[in-house]
Amino acid sequence: MDTAQLAKTLGISQTAVRNRAEKLGITPQETTQGRGRPKQIWTQEQVEAIENFGNVQTDNTPQAENWQQDNEQAGVLAIAQAGQFALVHSQALLGSLDRQCEAIELATARAGAARIAVMQARSVQLMNQMLAVTPIGIDFAEFAPQVITPIARLTAGDRFPEFLE
């Protein structure tokens, strides 16, 4: 079979056939038939070698099996080591995240407790400030006995208790 026929049979270019043959160390026989470039003729063994170029063939020799088993064991070991490495680092990251979350929770709790602790005192202060600028004029901190009924009724409307009048 010549190069053109082989390329057509394999579905590849003639250059690809020549490159495969070169990589395999195969040289065809050349024939001079007629005019032009001599044809390259490939034997059946060469055709099979070029056709199977790049295909992995299994070798059933004991050495090949040992080599294969060694590679499989090395691969399993590498995967296990990578998994262990990822686990250790994931645990470290999760521990760090947990510590940061606890610090944020503590800071939030402190801020909330401090705000709630001053809320009553600030509320009384704000009431005093508001009442100091209104016509009611009461200081709840000193519990001054002043009558606030008219202004309170005006502010509260029908929700103002009648017994305060």
pTM exceeds 0.85 for this model: no
Pick the more confident residue, 111 or 129.
Answer: 111
Percent pLDDT > 90 in the chain is: 9
Residue 13 has pLDDT above 90, yes or no: no
If you average pLDDT over every residue of the chain, what do you get? Answer: 77
User: What DSSP line would sit under 75-121, residue for residue?
Assistant: HHHHHHHHHHHHHHHHHHHHHHHHHHHHHHHHHHHHHHHHHHHHHHH
Helix (H, G, I), strand (E, B) or coil at 130: helix
Contact predicate 7/20, CB 8 Å: no
Residue 143 has pLDDT above 60, yes or no: no
Q: Residue 73 has what pLDDT? A: 78
- Say what angle helices 14-24 and 44-51 make with each other, to 10 degrees: 100
